[in-house]
Chain A
């Protein structure tokens, strides 16, 4: 299937906040040089948690970025979303009239947990009888989308997509479909999450998938994921619109694939993941043999990395061995609903700059992990086609196919 310029979707802006920095320049500098944003967890009493590490956003002073009038209604996850959207829109150079008609599709796995937990502590622990009136508008899962709309004057279709760790990739896919359907010409999409709250960390502890030492995707001695936070947002537009206004096109979003395992709430399925990759390639009308780089979901858990590798074998057959596969989560952590956005950005920049991000902390392949994981050091390689995988708890899978311009 050949798409015309109306229905071809391109990327014209990138914005991020992560443990690697407050903007995309710093994010990419860290990614291509293999720096880690994972550090001892700050802000919690040491004895209170078994989780000792996190990829927390550092040096972020909300008051320096938001007015004292707006700040009381901005949960940390909304703050990250706004920062990343501002950067992406700034890079894309979108005029107010274009923004007014644009869509915003914001993924989040957790929503405004900090706001909720502060209120719950107030009620349950301090035995107060009233909740703060901002609790709902600040903490609701769609608060970040609403704030993006209000503060950036985006008045087209605006909504939240929530599919745990696939939220950003699902959001980007919805935005691309809106453009392809002719509903809008421009959309901002991605994900945001701020999961470093006491109750949520306790809940993650209970799942026993969080590492106490480090995140080592695909390694034999991997011991789980390390949580992260932040936001990754991109500006998508129809190729015709981007060319007409003379925008700098960073890459093409050639296709998206979405499937569900319809299986288990936490155990991943190679079949569901493989079907999502195949669906994305079919949507992009790109042959599997053309794919050169895979930005993996690569959480560093025993189950994910083995299952994801199996899925890649199923889809790519003998070509799997020729793929470069890396997980950038060892650097920016697993930022849950934001992860897909950060990884999408890393994939766009890999295509644009010819630098393949490494899987850092790699100590040697785990059982069932037998691909080229670009261990520890980035690789200079000019590539044309890459995919970015997100496979969420609950078996919700979303994969993007990206193509160099």
Chain B
């Protein structure tokens, strides 16, 4: 994959919230970024499309920080490789 997961996630958030990607750190809370539920599913959709993964609905409820999304995506990608 051309971009690493962290960059993909940060870029998706930056695009959705129309903010500078440099302003996002792994520990930034999604609430502080003003991420609504519609933003969250849109960001996850972008990441799903790029990484070719499926993020289950119940995983979305546990997302609090940027790191949570990155970790979730890495975990799903690892499972995909195993399959």
Rounded to whole Å, the gap between the CB of B23 and the closest CB of chain A is 23
By the criterion CB–CB under 8 Å, are B37 and A206 in contact? Answer: no
Rounded to whole Å, the gap between the CB of B4 and the closest CB of chain A is 26
Give the CA-CA distance A212 to B58 in the complex, in Å. 11
In A223-269, the 8 Å CB interface with B consists of: 224, 264-267
A47 contacts B by Cβ under 8 Å: no
Q: Which residue of A lies closest to B45 (CB)?
A: A206
1/0 per position for B34-77, CB-CB distance to A under 8 A?
00111001000100000000000100100000000000000000
Rounded to whole Å, the gap between the CB of A220 and the closest CB of chain B is 14
Give the CA-CA distance A303 to B41 in the complex, in Å. 15
A264 and B38 in contact (CB under 8 A), knowing A208-B57, A208-B60? yes
Rounded to whole Å, the gap between the CB of B50 and the closest CB of chain A is 16
Residues of B within 8 A of A267 (CB): 36-38
Rounded to whole Å, the gap between the CB of B55 and the closest CB of chain A is 9
For this complex, into which size category does the number of interface residues on chain A fall?
Answer: 10 to 19
Q: Which residue of A lies closest to B60 (CB)?
A: A208
Rounded to whole Å, the gap between the CB of B52 and the closest CB of chain A is 16
Residues of A within 8 A of B38 (CB): 264-267
A63 contacts B by Cβ under 8 Å: no
By the criterion CB–CB under 8 Å, are A264 and B41 in contact? Answer: no
A207 contacts B by Cβ under 8 Å: yes
Q: Which residue of A lies closest to B61 (CB)?
A: A302
By the criterion CB–CB under 8 Å, are B36 and A208 in contact? Answer: no
Interface residues in chain A, defined as those with a beta carbon under 8 Å from any beta carbon in chain B: 206-208, 212, 224, 264-267, 303
Given A264-B36, A266-B37; 16 other pairs, CB 8 A cutoff: A206-B41, A206-B45, A207-B41, A208-B41, A208-B57, A208-B60, A212-B57, A224-B57, A264-B38, A265-B38, A266-B36, A266-B38, A267-B36, A267-B37, A267-B38, A303-B37
A-B contact pairs, 12 of them (CB 8 A): A206-B41, A206-B45, A208-B41, A208-B57, A208-B60, A224-B57, A264-B38, A265-B38, A266-B37, A266-B38, A267-B36, A267-B37
